[in-house]
Structure 1
């Protein structure tokens, strides 16, 4: 308990620092990030684990909780985007070859590394050794993926498609709910064939889904943009590379864009995604001070190497796919982006391969 008191004091001071020296928005986003990290860690809300349980055990409880999260977030986010088009933006990504390849690779890599973007963050905050080591590899991969993104997009890309802009809020919401209902029915039918599954509803996961949806909506309202994770990772690595004179963003298709070039020059505390990521780490750390983290078995050298390579691929592929389970799936689908739906299909196909690779290496 004493550890949590000290952490609460430290986080409060940091929030006040952001309020006084940066902005009220960044201070509030840090608090939202703490909430996200605390819920993810406290409920052990794993996007990766939910998919793996559906594939391996035909347990749909985790996936159904994720669909509840998407439904609640969409029910509020899509009308907000339609009502305030100038103040709020959706998580849109181009329909590209890089999206297809990146989402597939990410789906496989996240099963091997046992974590997506948010999963890597909160598990690192819990002090799980593999995820702590994966985090910098994720950042490196995200940076290199962003630096190479221009080349990947030249292979073929179409403009982002927004359901809200194309069809209006009502139709966009209806299409989103129909898509989520279809996925729910498919998951339900898949789980019914597994006699070991006692129930397709998990109370803890559902509570976590509701809380995450509320926090994601708050992130949209406060930041003006949806919840994201991987951009912050790439920015951290890009700043280090630039400071070490290993990277010149001038002329780069991604980092040469005005908004990204500005992010490289200004304090990381001004970056929306970074401050939320820091909050997620803090929230998970706060949870770890309350109770012991799950016991982790010792890994072999081969498992460490495979895990770190998977972590690098997570970063690289997520940049090609314009997001991870959070930025592409949760934020993409809940704000009416077609690329989010494509991401889910390709990432799940990749997960079918990833769970087998994970099993082969004995994780």
Structure 2
């Protein structure tokens, strides 16, 4: 999925580097560096070292996501369209390493700045199943998942900026309807480590076996369907590749797993993205006179978040870092570019963003919070999320043609 069709290429779907004008590249790079320095300084001064560290992790996440073109949308699309499972195998590697890191952190309570890390375990019910399904459809229309949206915006993708606006709006509507959905039937939160008697060691062994089985299944599917080969992006050699080149998916998988584990030790919770969208949008709605404090979503512990400044929210700070980290990566590589958005693509972006925002709120998270963070936390709801998101992806692929977007075909090369 390249910018010419909708957005930045995501996992396993890569775009040749575009040579940019040196002066333009330097200008964008300078702007990104200046913004990161000003924002980072403000966070350190007003919120302290813990929040500043999370901003730094966000920068590294954005930089990694962009250079590895590591995403979820195209990985699901390629698997279901042509049987190419390279992206999903990268997910399994990422999840395996994350679980190996999360297990001792959660078991022994390893944390910094006085935090006690907690797993992300949520109920499995109607809201999760419906929300993940809607999110899967939205990914294919919006041109990216939650992490893909942030790093593509940082890379200058105009269509995905529209997706982000829809994402925020959908998150607000989901927060508004939160009380209805969470009142529907659901199982209690189930931890494969703590609710089953397996412990973290046993749950880790079970999940590693499942990851290996899924990776093996993708290889079996590939042998049957003979999918197109993923072409590597022309890249620099040696150390220059760190700044001006594409990174292998396995590098992105390892770095994302490590950074998520580091987030857990500093934030006390795994990496998340979409709760910040609900916060941003609700603050805007409140500024226009909407009494969002009466919504069930903003009751209890969350009520205080509405009164705090945005920079006090760890998820918001990390999101800003991801956008700026991707912008730094794109500027350094000379691939930062903003292009005109066709009308049908803009409409698809709005629809996709709305579905993802709404779905993420219902499902207790997105591809990062629910899928990545949930499974790494040994939560059953993470597995329910991925099953329903894949079903939603299958449906979403059928809708893409309505907006002039193409799906991979067996005869096509994937780049």
TM-score, length of structure 2 as denominator length = 0.82
2:373 aligns with one of 327, 331, 339: 331
**Aligned twin of 1:210:** 254
**Aligned twin of 2:226:** 195
Residue 197 (structure 1) shift: 3.8
The reply on whether 1:138 has 2:167 as its aligned counterpart is yes
Q: Which runs of at least 4 in structure 1 moved beyond 6 Å after TM superposition?
A: 199-203, 294-297
Residue 234 (structure 1) shift: 0.5
Matches within 5 A, 1:40-55: 40-55=65-80
Question: Whole-Å Cα distance in 2 between the matches of residues 59 and 37 of structure 1?
Answer: 25
The reply on whether 1:254 has 2:278 as its aligned counterpart is no
Larger mean CA deviation between 222-231 and 12-21 belongs to 12-21
Matches within 5 A, 1:1-363: 2-3=26-27, 4-84=29-109, 87-166=116-195, 167-198=198-229, 204-250=248-294, 252-257=295-300, 259-293=301-335, 299-363=341-405
Question: Whole-Å Cα distance in 1 between the matches of residues 381 and 101 of structure 2?
Answer: 20
Question: Whole-Å Cα distance in 1 between the matches of residues 131 and 175 of structure 2?
Answer: 12
The number of residues matched between the two structures is 361
Residue 294 (structure 1) shift: 7.7
Deviations 1:124-164 (A, max 9, x none): 11111111111121011111102211101222122111122
Residue 301 (structure 1) shift: 2.5
Kept in 2: contact 1:81–1:90 (CA 8 A): yes
Q: Residue 165 of structure 1 aligns to a residue in which SS?
A: coil
Residue 203 (structure 1) shift: 6.7
Question: Whole-Å Cα distance in 2 between the matches of residues 361 and 301 of structure 1?
Answer: 9
Deviations 1:47-85 (A, max 9, x none): 111111111222111110111111101111122111118
Larger mean CA deviation between 302-311 and 271-280 belongs to 302-311
Deviations 1:196-242 (A, max 9, x none): 44479997111111111111111111111100000011100011111
Structure with greater helix share of residues: 1
TM-score, length of structure 1 as denominator length = 0.94
Q: Residue 392 of structure 2 aligns to a residue in which SS?
A: helix
Kept in 1: contact 2:47–2:312 (CA 8 A): yes
Residue 327 (structure 1) shift: 0.5
Larger mean CA deviation between 229-238 and 75-84 belongs to 75-84
Kept in 1: contact 2:90–2:249 (CA 8 A): yes
Larger mean CA deviation between 327-336 and 203-212 belongs to 203-212
Unmatched runs of 5 consecutive residues or more in structure 1: none
Q: Residue 249 of structure 1 aligns to a residue in which SS?
A: helix
Kept in 2: contact 1:147–1:255 (CA 8 A): no
Larger mean CA deviation between 188-197 and 45-54 belongs to 188-197
- CA-based RMSD of the aligned residues comes to 2.1
